[in-house]
Amino acid sequence: MEKNNQRICKRCFLKDIAPEEYLESMRTYLDGLDEEIKADKQLYEERLKECESCENLREGICRICGCFVEYRAAIKIRKCPAIHPRW
């Protein structure tokens, strides 16, 4: 895996990325979202709280759709993928 200061290799698996590098990459991505598409902080936190209590959350991934919930929650037009959405 080749690393630069902006992002991780797109062709690497998460298992090959050091946890600190992955967390930094996630923060960089979330911070870099256009304000037009980004959920405000309160909405983002409310969504994560709902996901946190969901039985389909496993290691930060939604078992329904396979997304990283922190990414999905950060985009204001996204919805919970459950049949009966939590948010």
Dump pLDDT digits (tens) for 5-40.
444 455 566 667 677 887 888 889 999 999 999 999
Domain ranges in the chain are 1-32, 36-87
Span 67-75, average pLDDT: 94
pTM for the full model?
0.75
Beta strand spans in the chain (E): 57-58, 61-62
CA dihedral 33, 36, 41, 47 (to 10 degrees): -90
Residue 4 confidence (pLDDT):
45
User: For residues 26 and 67, is the Cβ–Cβ distance under 8 A?
Assistant: no
Mean pLDDT, the chain, integer: 85
* Residue 75, helix vs strand vs coil: strand
Which residues, at least 6 apart from 21, have a Cβ–Cβ distance to it below 8 Å?
3, 8
